[in-house]
Amino acid sequence: MSSSPRAKLFLMMVLEFFIWGAWLPLIFGYLPSLGFTPLQQSLVLNAFAVSAVIGMFFSNEFADTHFSAEKFLAFSHLIGGLAILSLGFVRSFWPFFILMSVHCLLYVPTISITNSIAFASMKDPQKEFGLVRMGGTIGWILAAWPFTFILVDWDKVNASHPDGLVNWLGAVFANGLSGPALKEATKWTFVVAGIASLLLAAFSLILPHTPPKKPTPGVDKKAAWLTALGLLKHPFVLVLWLVTFIDSFVHNCYFNWTGTFLGSPDVGIPGNWITPVMSIGQVAEILTMFILGATLKRLGWRTTMVVGVLGHAVRFAVFAFLPGMQGLIIAVNILHGVCYAFFFATVYIFVDEFFPKDVRSSAQGLFNVMILGAGALVANFICPYLLQEVFTGADKKVDFHSLFLIPGGAALAAAVALALFFHPPARKPEVTGAAAPAH
């Protein structure tokens, strides 16, 4: 990993996902504290999902063919970073919504762009991508830990008069904020995310040069996304695309509800420990990424993906049936990393392996529409409503048992569909006349 440019690609991924990991886990509890209605919360949350759909047509077409990738990355994180940083100081709905929309419209395309920069600099993506993408996992983990010190009730810490560094740390870790104070302090998540975005804007200028892609002779680049859509005529591609939608929906249910669940009386995790607990999944993801290449060779595409989807079902079953077992609730977050690596990361590699080179970038965008767009869009519209209106009783107590059965059941159904109907051929589907053995 110390060799260049792989080290730069690794650090690029660290910063890229640090930004997202800084603000996402706690925003779901923060928006209600601003007085936003469930519909307004959904609109803010879906700025990200809508941007993913727009990104299919912009980042994977216009940006790919008109800008060098590293310069596009720098511009996006400069403007988007200023927007997300400003959210720490805004409490009214329309300014908040507009700033979040600006950030997401510029940030979401950079997820595909960072993938493009990485793949363009690799000799063997199936072996190398997992290691480079692991930087994103580490970035997400690192984003959780500043808030262990930021989201602290310092009055209680000072009142305990801790003697020495060890006792001081113990007092800090034991006195996380809760209730309204926690919601108020959550504004710092946007400030931290904005600072990281500005750092990545500067760092992008020294990334490996990735020039605009020249149109392939005989191929209408403007219609590349239509060609990618045309691949849905192959049953195995269509099945994977639809399962990706379901898995994305389930994945976003986790982020919508888990922070609230962990901080609820049912589980009782202190406010400053919620994001570190949720980051346990990313720690597991690091280990999973190390073995992803070997797993794909041994188990194949379908089995690897099925295991990834089933991980969601197991985790939500534990949440639903065993909320009082705090240690198990914490430990089962390990499955989140397995779910991501064995499904989403595998999908990205699968697309790079199976799709023709001249539409590969658009094909990545096609699946990002489901991973970051449609699945998130549906989850973010219905999750605030389900949590706050359907499964919260008159006593303000949330029925987490019934709530978590919804994504758990959806994950189980998706795994069965994938096992029964996803059968990729031994050779790539021929779209531009090129075909090669699959791995």
Q: Do the domain assignments include residue 170?
A: no
pLDDT-based confidence at 438, cuts 50/70/90?
very low
**Alpha-carbon dihedral sign for residues 24, 30, 34, 38:** positive
Q: Do the domain assignments include residue 88?
A: yes
Q: Do the domain assignments include residue 436?
A: no
pLDDT(147) > 70: yes
pLDDT(212) > 80: no
Instruction: State the pTM of this model.
Output: 0.77
Please state, rounded to an integer, the average pLDDT across all residues of the chain: 84
37: left (phi over 0), alpha (psi -120 to 50) or beta: beta
pLDDT-based confidence at 432, cuts 50/70/90?
very low
**Alpha-carbon dihedral sign for residues 169, 175, 180, 181:** negative
pLDDT-based confidence at 98, cuts 50/70/90?
very high
Q: Do the domain assignments include residue 167?
A: no
DSSP-derived 3-state class of residue 392: strand
Which run of H or of E encompasses 302?
helix 280-321
pLDDT(60) > 90: no
Closest by CA position to 365, among listed 189, 216, 206, 224: 224
Q: Do the domain assignments include residue 261?
A: yes
- Number of structural domains (the chain) is 1
Of 2 and 214, more confident = 214
Burial class from Cβ neighbours inside 10 Å (0-12, 13-18, 19+) for residue 433 reads exposed
Q: How far is CA 85 from CA 26, 106, 110, in A?
A: 15, 14, 18
Q: How many CB atoms lie within 10 A of CB 72?
A: 24
pLDDT-based confidence at 56, cuts 50/70/90?
low
Predicted local distance difference test score (pLDDT) of residue 79: 96
- 319: its two tokens: 């949440």
Predicted local distance difference test score (pLDDT) of residue 1: 46
Q: Do the domain assignments include residue 438?
A: no
Q: Kindly report, residue by residue over 375-421, the tens digit of the pLDDT.
A: 989 999 999 999 988 998 888 889 999 999 999 999 999 999 999 99
Q: Which amino acid is at 2?
A: S
Residue range 266-279: mean pLDDT, rounded: 87
pLDDT(208) > 90: no
pLDDT(216) > 60: no
Asked whether the bond before 5 is cis by omega within 30 degrees of 0, the reply is: yes
Q: What is the DSSP string of 112-148?
A: HHHHHHHHHT-S-HHHHHHHHHHHHHHHHHHHHTHHH
Q: What are phi and psi of 157, to 5 degrees?
A: -60, -50
Least confident of 45-49, 86-90, 177-181, 231-235: 177-181
State the CATH number of the domain containing residue 209: 1.20.1250.20
Closest by CA position to 168, among listed 159, 178, 179, 157: 157
Least confident of 62-66, 99-103, 329-333, 359-363: 62-66
Q: How far apart are CA 16 and CA 135, in angstroms?
A: 9
Q: What are phi and psi of 437, to 5 degrees?
A: -60, 140
Q: What are phi and psi of 156, to 5 degrees?
A: -70, -40
Q: Do the domain assignments include residue 1?
A: no
**Alpha-carbon dihedral sign for residues 394, 399, 272, 186:** negative
Determine the distance from the C-alpha atom of residue 319 to the mean position of all C-alpha atoms in its chain, rounded to a whole number. 20
Predicted local distance difference test score (pLDDT) of residue 223: 60
Q: Which domain holds residue 284?
A: 6-151+186-421
Residue range 419-429: mean pLDDT, rounded: 77
Q: Do the domain assignments include residue 103?
A: yes
Predicted local distance difference test score (pLDDT) of residue 126: 65
Residue range 211-216: mean pLDDT, rounded: 65
pLDDT-based confidence at 233, cuts 50/70/90?
confident
